Amino acid sequence: MGEIRVGREHLHRLLADSAGSCGAPYQQAFAQLAETHRGQPTAEILPLLRRAADQALLEFTHADLVEQAEAISTGERYVLRVTVT
């Protein structure tokens, strides 16, 4: 399970159903990768997740991104604990 802290004013960067004018929120990018990259190597998914996190201006640790990439690769559920500050 990963963890991230997000300021209330930046929640739209993470969640697809939040109000905001940011490009594609990270949740949407993650879901699209989960649909299109299941069964692909983790090493192939990792840079795509990093780019999505960078575009959303979210600071995931490398370990969290690796866990997310592994979950996408294997089709397992990934749980992210979000603390809104």
- Helix, strand, coil shares of the chain, percent, nearest 5, are 50, 10, 35
Q: Token pair 């940011």 is at which residue? A: 22
Residue 32 confidence (pLDDT) above 90: yes
The parent domain of residue 29 ranges over 2-84
Please state the pTM of the whole predicted model: 0.84
Residue 42 confidence (pLDDT) above 90: yes
**pLDDT for the residue 20:** 52
**Structural domain count, the chain:** 1
Mean pLDDT of 72-84: 91
pLDDT per residue as tens digits for the range 63-75? 999 999 999 999 9
